[in-house]
Amino acid sequence: MKFLQFSVLPFLMVILSVSGANLTHHPHRDFLRCLSLRIENSCTITYTHNNPSYPSVLNASIQNTRFSTPTTPKPYAIITPRKTSDVQSTIFCSKNHGFQLRIRSGGHDVEGVSYVSQVPFVVLDLVNFRDVKVDTKNEVAWVQSGATTGELYYGIAAKTQTLGFPAGICHTIGIGGHLSGGGFGILGRKYGLAADHIIDAKMVDANGRVLHRKSMGEDLFWAIRGGGGNTFGVVLAWKIKLVPVPPVVTVFTVNKNLEQNATKIFHRWQQIAHKLPNDLFTTVWVMKVNSSQVGKKTVEASFKGLFLGRIDELIPLIQYAFPELGLARENCTQMSWVQSVLYFGALPIEPVEILLNRSALPRLSLKAKTDYIREPMSEAGFEGFMNMFLEEGTDLAITMMEAFGGKMDEIRENEIPFPHRSGVLFESVYIVQWINEEDAGLCINWMRRLYNYMSSYASKSLREAYYNYKDLDLGINNVNGYTSYEQASVWGLKYFKNNFKRLVRVKTMIDPTNFFSNEQSTPPLLSP
Ligand code: FDA
């Protein structure tokens, strides 16, 4: 390591005063000194525990409050880089001073993996990497990882009403985690995943090299499009292909509870939803609601849809293909595509500037799991599933069953790492939330029982799961020491099926010492 040079001394003092560090007694002072020597004349700030802003910077994007309790392990430092060279420096110093690096973009990791670790760690927070540059002429955009999907959607809609992007429903999720894990949303049946539309990327690897598509090679470029963030490097920005959307789309909601034939209608839905025209995406949200009898609860299946066209075309289409739903004109509303994103996010559709509000959604504690359903559930099976929502611990539970088929069926399983394609009827996302810490056990146990219940209906030979809703119940890497291919396959095959083998090969090639690691990162093979 270089000796402290006179020229950098003033800057070192700035960093140390911002971080509130005490050079003489702090055990990790070498890390800070390393950073201060490398990060010169930059607005990048390093926050450590002693800095008054540390808690607010740490909590700023934590969506799952389950991981922001006093006992949650905290990073030694949070670095908020403004320049690529500062990202390189952070990697260099973390590596050389024994800190694990967690990368955070939007902070929506459902298991808190971007800002919690069981070993000494620092967080690289990309909150300042959030440019969105939309080029309508070429129908592409460059979007930095720290931007949210809402900022991307807003940026596109500010320029044109006839282009969109097929990413997730929630507008506060970060581009970095979302695109590196797949990204399914309301345009999924028409166009596929967000990751299917990545055409270039800029990343920094474990050796500090800045790579683009050409220089990283097709294997690594394949891996970062859905193979999991924080396994291969820090992706700073993505070039994406935009997709056509009509200026007017139609959304609808039809609510049916247990007493209103919800199970029968669902039974029909799962048989036809994946076969409907690609312009029509439907989803069923199951949750507990108040019954019409005072003081009683029931369970509701809320059938929602987005049609890339007008009401007048939608109504006859549904009347022909899915008359059981009883869709009426008053269930439907016409709006722009960007407003439909807010509609599915259960937010007011105006003003669309809400898309820029990163704190628009309530932040609660949660646990999530996912399934891919390839064979229809029996009516009794679905009724049993709904009835589980009447148990204790389910006040804030929801399951979102999202129809697949369409474009999702057409893309090969190994095109990118996300493998859940042809033959999937719907993706099932189970979420349970709670407000009071003491309800955590009850709610998580319920979630695990619900997941067990669904085992007879989920994909059979291998129970598939969606990496973007990580589930550490499926298994984790060893905290210290090597994790074998066999051990990691337990969750790796569920997330990526046979693509897991290629991910391991890419990981072994790009990061053989496993610098980028987390609870469910893909491990490299040991060198012989
Ligand atoms: P966060 O910053 O927490 O990162 C998630 C993971 O990616 C971590 O492992 C992190 O280290 C890594 N990572 C982040 N930035 C990186 C970078 N620049 N380079 C390398 N690695 C990086 N999914 C979906 O498909 N459709 C949906 O509609 C939704 N909706 C939704 C709503 C809500 C409320 C939540 C909490 C989650 C979703 N998701 C979702 C899941 C979401 O796509 C997933 O959690 C993403 O990983 C979140 O990305 P963030 O950048 O926000 O997370």
> Who's near 421: CB < 8 A, 6+ residues apart?
404, 408, 409, 411, 412, 413
Residue recorded with tokens 């290629």: 502
Can you tell me the distance from the alpha carbon of 219 to that of 468, in angstroms, rounded to the nearest whole number?
Answer: 21
Distance CA 196, CA 241 (A): 9
- Dihedral in degrees, nearest 10, Cα atoms 35, 40, 44, 48: 30
**CA torsion through residues 165, 166, 170, 172, sign:** negative
With contact defined as beta carbons under 8 Å apart, do 502 and 416 qualify? no
Q: What is the DSSP string of 280-313?
A: EEEEEEEEEEE-SSTT-EEEEEEEEEEESS-HHH
How many angstroms is it from 468 CA to the middle of ligand 1?
A: 6
Cβ–Cβ < 8 Å for 517, 95: no
Q: What is the DSSP letter of 190?
A: H
Query: Pairing mode, if any, of strands 77-80 and 121-125?
Result: parallel
CATH 3.40.462.20 applies to domain 249-335+364-454:
yes
Question: From the CB of residue 435, how many other CB atoms can be counted at a distance below 10 Å?
Answer: 11
Ligand 1 centroid, distance to 194 Cα (angstroms):
12
Q: 129: which residues sit within 8 A by CB, 6+ positions away?
A: 81, 82, 144, 145, 146, 147, 236, 237
Phi then psi dihedrals of residue 358, to 5 deg? -75, -10
Residue ranges of alpha helices (H) inside 20-70 are: 29-38, 54-59
132-244 and 249-335+364-454 agree in CATH topology: no
Instruction: Choose one of 178, 366, 396, 519 to mutate for the ligand 1 pocket test, by most ligand atoms within 8 angstroms of C-beta.
Output: 178
Residue nearest (by alpha carbon) to ligand 1 atom 31 = 170
Choose among 296, 308, 358, 356: nearest CA to 336: 308
Q: Which residues pair with 135 in a beta bridge?
A: 140
Question: Per-residue pLDDT tens for 65-122?
Answer: 999 999 999 999 999 999 999 999 999 999 999 999 999 999 999 999 999 999 999 9
430, 457, 466, 469: the catalytic one is 469
Spatial distance between the Cα atoms of 275 and 271, rounded to a whole number of angstroms: 8
Query: If we measure between CA atoms, which residue out of 135, 38, 133, 139 comes closest to residue 79?
Result: 38
**Quick check: CB of 105 below 6 Å from ligand 1?**
yes
Distance 499 CA to ligand 1 centre (A): 20
Atom of ligand 1 nearest to the CA of 366: 36
In a 10 Å sphere around its CB, with 0-12 CB exposed, 13-18 middle and 19+ buried, how is residue 107 labelled? buried
Please give the biggest Cα pair distance in the chain: 78
Q: Residue 239 corresponds to which tokens in the numbers above?
A: 């070039």
pTM above 0.85, yes or no: yes
Please name every residue paired with 365 in a beta bridge, in sequence order, or none if there are none: 434
Q: Which amino acid is at 146?
A: G
Q: Whose CA is nearest to atom 40 of ligand 1?
A: 168
Q: Is 181 in the pocket of ligand 1 (CB under 6 A)?
A: yes
366 lines ligand 1 (CB under 6 A): no
- CA 503 – ligand 1 centroid, Å: 19
Residue 373 Cα to ligand 1 middle (Å): 23
Residue 113 Cβ contacting ligand 1 at under 6 Å:
yes
CB neighbours of residue 52 within 10 Å:
8
Pocket test for ligand 1, best of 468, 503, 516, 521 (most atoms within 8 A of CB): 468
- How far is ligand 1, taken at its centre, from the CA of residue 128, in Å? 17
What tokens does 470 get? 């990580």
Q: Which of 111, 126, 144, 180 to mutate to test the pocket of ligand 1 (most atoms within 8 A of CB)?
A: 180
Question: Which helix or strand (DSSP H or E) is residue 216 part of?
Answer: helix 213-224
Q: Per-residue pLDDT for the chain (528 aa), expressed as one digit of tens each? A: 332 332 333 333 333 334 444 444 454 789 999 999 998 767 778 899 989 999 999 999 999 999 999 999 999 999 999 999 999 999 999 999 999 999 999 999 999 999 999 999 999 999 999 999 999 999 999 999 999 999 999 999 999 999 999 999 999 999 999 999 999 999 999 999 999 999 999 999 999 999 999 999 999 999 999 999 999 999 999 999 999 999 999 999 999 999 999 999 999 999 999 999 999 999 999 999 999 889 999 999 999 999 999 999 999 999 999 999 999 999 999 999 999 999 999 999 999 999 999 999 999 999 999 999 999 999 999 999 999 999 999 999 999 999 999 999 999 999 999 999 999 999 999 999 999 999 999 999 999 999 999 999 997 789 999 999 999 999 999 998 899 999 999 999 999 999 999 999 999 999 999 999 999 999 999 865
Span from the CA of 172 to the centroid of ligand 1 (angstroms): 10
| Beta carbon of 202 within 6 Å of any ligand 1 atom | no
Q: What is the mean pLDDT of the chain?
A: 93
Expressed in angstroms and rounded, the spacing between residue 179 Cα and the centre of ligand 1 is 8
Domain 28-125: state its class: alpha beta
Nearest atom in ligand 1 to 470's CA:
45
Complete DSSP assignment for 178-190: HHHH----TTHHH
Which of 66, 72, 90, 109 is the best mutation target for the ligand 1 pocket, counting ligand atoms within 8 Å of the beta carbon and taking the most?
A: 109
pLDDT at 527: 64
Rounded to whole angstroms, how far apart are CA atoms 411 and 184?
A: 14
Residue minimizing CA distance to atom 27 of ligand 1: 168
Per-residue pLDDT, 40: 73
Q: Give nearest CA residue, ligand 1 atom 45.
A: 109
Burial class (CB in 10 A: 0-12, 13-18, 19+), 56: exposed
Question: Would the CB of 394 count as within 6 Å of ligand 1?
Answer: no
Place of tokens 């559709």: 349
State in Å: Cα 173 to ligand 1 middle: 6
Q: Where are the beta strands (DSSP E) in 374-498?
A: 396-403, 426-434
CATH class (in words) of the domain with range 132-244? alpha beta
Active site residue 469: yes
User: Hey, how many other C-beta atoms are within 10 angstroms of the C-beta on 490?
Assistant: 11
Domain positions in the chain = 28-125, 132-244, 249-335+364-454
Spatial neighbors of 518 by CB under 8 A, at least 6 apart, are: 100, 102, 113, 117, 230, 231, 477
- Considering only CA atoms, give the Rg of the chain: 23
Which residue's C-alpha comes closest to atom 6 of ligand 1? 177
Report whether residue 420 contacts ligand 1, using a CB cutoff of 6 Å.
no
Please state the three-class secondary structure of 57-104 as a single string.
HHHCCCCEHHHCCCCCCCCCEEEECCCHHHHHHHHHHHHHCCCEEEEE
If one counts every other C-beta atom within 10 angstroms of the C-beta of residue 505, the result is 15
Q: What is the DSSP code (8-state) at residue 226?
A: T
C-alpha dihedral, 61 to 64 to 66 to 70, nearest 10°: 0
**Is residue 261 left, alpha or beta, with left meaning phi > 0 and alpha meaning psi from -120 to 50?**
left
